[in-house]
Amino acid sequence: MGERLKMGGSARAEPRRDRFDGVCEVNRLICREHYLLRVRFAHGLPPTEPGQFVQIGCRVPDLAIDEAQWLGGDVAWEPDRLPSVGQAELCQRTAVLRRPFSIAGRGDDEGGTWIDLIHRVVGIGTEWLAGLRPGDAVDVIGPLGNRFELTEGKSLALLVGGGVGLPPMFYLAEALHRAGWDAVAWVGALSRDLLAVTFNEGCAFGADGELSRAVAEFSRHGYPAVITTDDGSLGLRGRITDGLSRYFTSLSEADAGRAVVFTCGPEPMMHAVAKLASQAGVDCQVCVEQAMACGMGTCQSCVVKTDEQDHPHGTTADGRAWRYRLACTDGPVFPASAVVW
Ligand SMILES: Cc1cc2nc3c(=O)[nH]c(=O)nc-3n(C[C@H](O)[C@H](O)[C@H](O)COP(=O)(O)OP(=O)(O)OC[C@H]3O[C@@H](n4cnc5c(N)ncnc54)[C@H](O)[C@@H]3O)c2cc1C
Ligand code: FES
């Protein structure tokens, strides 16, 4: 195994986070329930890295509580009756907390900086995001979290993205291409209509798990992809790990030595990917998408159990000392070998 990532150490990007006023440039449906949202910042954005995320205010930015009314003024409230509430924030369903989204791409041009996010509608905040139109204001805090590490001495990336775990893989593919790495991607979803990727016309999808040039987000960098769907509606029928384990059986010793698995998706998927990588003797970095609130290390809501001897918080049944780390500031990227699954 290669050198382990130092959590909260070398993998941590410089904390240059701030709040930024963005403008929605594009918000289009790319497949069922998934939207591509491009947010532009006329005055730029600090450097961002693959693996990092932003916190989006998923509500009209000027819905701040009117303190004069609620803290300083009188509220008409008769006993046994609900007070007369005028504030939309208090009488409508609103996403009060910001929501985290991985950066899926970035560009800097004469009009400032844009970032791409891909969001799946699952609740109140993402429902609100789906309604954004070009020109609408988007309130963003970022960039947040650490980053994927392009480990020195390695040069083959195995990118494994399931469902809403795909966006950070797209951004990582850009960086890998610039750094001259080889790469192969695995993209998986329950069914074809939930695959949040762009397909190149006229390319085969690899029904038997063959490498395909059909996924534009990877093929534009020269990287092939293996497509899997649980129901077999596109590519190989089965789980993403079915495609990956086939690949590992034919991986040469030389390629295993220069490979790193980068993965993001549902926790059981990442755990299975991490096991396969470990059996193949390949380093693996996981990007956890733990539910979180503040996104910047204050609320302690996003803990991940990690394998650590120093100042442990507990011990597993098989005697491993573990310590809680925060997904938002120590992560979201962790060495798979350090996570207590
Ligand atoms: C670092 C990070 C990066 C993320 N990147 C993306 C991304 O690129 N694209 C994307 O679509 N989503 C991403 N997510 C998940 C996204 O933040 C949630 O889907 C979003 O907060 C849901 O907000 P909501 O108000 O629509 O749903 P809510 O009404 O808050 O919740 C709807 C349902 O989803 C569940 N839920 C909410 N958040 C999560 C979570 N993190 N994991 C599992 N279940 C959850 C809730 O328990 C509830 O059942 C990311 C999460 C993290 C922590
Ligand atoms: S989300 Fe608040 S500490 Fe991580």
Q: Is the CB of 99 under 6 A from ligand 1?
A: yes
Taking the mean position of all CA atoms in its chain, how far away is CA 30?
Answer: 17
- Mapping DSSP to helix (H, G, I), strand (E, B) and coil, where does residue 127 land? helix
What CATH number does the domain containing 331 carry?
3.40.50.80
**pLDDT confidence of residue 56:** 97
User: Is 16 domain-assigned?
Assistant: no
Quick one: which atom of ligand 2 is closest to the CA of 327? Answer: 4
Are 302 and 292 in contact, with CB atoms under 8 Å apart?
yes
What values do phi and psi take at 313, rounded to 5?
A: -95, -15
Please, what's the b/e burial string for 112-128 (b: 16 or more CB within 10 A of its CB; e: otherwise)? ebbbbbbbbbeebbbeb
Pocket of ligand 1 contains residue 332 by CB under 6 Å: yes
What are φ and ψ of residue 216, in 5° steps? -60, -35
Angle at alpha carbon of residue 183, lines to 180 and 186, rounded to 5°: 155
Residue 207 lies in a domain: yes
Residue at 282 is within a domain: yes
Closest CA relative to residue 12, chosen from 150, 172, 146: 146
Q: Please choose from 37, 96, 99 the residue to mutate so as to test ligand 1's pocket, defined by most ligand atoms within 8 A of CB.
A: 99
Element (H, E) at 126: helix 124-130
Helix H segments across 131-262?
Answer: 166-179, 216-219, 240-249, 253-258
User: Does the beta carbon of 164 lie inside 6 Å of ligand 1?
Assistant: yes
Whole-prediction pTM: 0.91
In short, whether 162's Cβ falls inside 6 Å of ligand 1 is: no
CA 182/CA 255 separation, integer angstroms: 10
Alpha carbon nearest to ligand 1 atom 27, residue: 123
Task: Tell me whether residue 190 is in a domain.
Answer: yes
- Give yes or no for residue 236 CB within 6 A of ligand 1: no
Ligand 2 site residues (CB inside 6 A) read 292-295, 297-302, 326, 328
Which of 99, 288, 294, 304 is the pocket-test mutation for ligand 2 (most atoms within 8 Å of CB)?
294
pLDDT tens, per residue, the chain with 341 residues? 333 344 443 455 556 789 999 999 999 999 999 999 999 999 999 999 999 999 999 988 754 555 555 555 566 677 887 766 655 556 677 888 999 999 999 999 999 999 999 999 999 999 999 999 999 999 999 999 999 999 999 999 999 999 999 999 999 999 999 999 999 999 999 999 999 999 999 999 998 889 999 999 999 999 999 999 999 999 999 999 998 999 999 999 999 999 999 999 999 999 999 999 999 999 999 999 999 999 999 999 999 999 988 888 999 988 889 999 999 999 999 999 999 99
CA 181/CA 240 separation, integer angstroms: 22
Rounded to whole angstroms, what are the CA distances from 341 to 161, 211, 262, 338? 18, 30, 17, 9
Q: Determine which helix (DSSP H) or strand (DSSP E) holds 184, and give its type and residue range.
A: strand 182-189
Count of the separate structural domains present in the chain: 1
Distance of CA 139 to the CA centre of its chain: 18
**Rounded to whole angstroms, how far apart are CA atoms 53 and 289?**
10
Atom in ligand 1 nearest the alpha carbon of residue 95: 25
Rounded-to-integer distance, Cα 135 and Cα 322, Å: 47
Residue 223: both structure tokens together: 């990287």
- Specify if 87 maps to a domain: no
Quote the CA–CA distance of 322 and 305 in Å, as a whole number: 6
Best mutation site among 117, 119, 122 for ligand 1 pocket (most ligand atoms within 8 Å of CB): 122
pLDDT given at position 16: 79
Residue span of the structural domain in which 193 resides: 156-338
Q: How far is CA 257 from the centre of its chain?
A: 27
The pLDDT of residue 1 = 34
**268 domain residue, yes or no:** yes
Euclidean distance between the first and the last CA atom of the chain, given in angstroms as a whole number: 19
Q: Which amino acid is at 4?
A: R
* pLDDT value for 86: 59
Structure tokens that stand for 20 in this block? 């930024």
Find out whether 243 and 209 touch, Cβ atoms under 8 Å: yes
Output the residue whose Cα is nearest ligand 1's atom 43.
291
127: in domain: no
Query: Which structure tokens are listed for 206?
Result: 């690899």
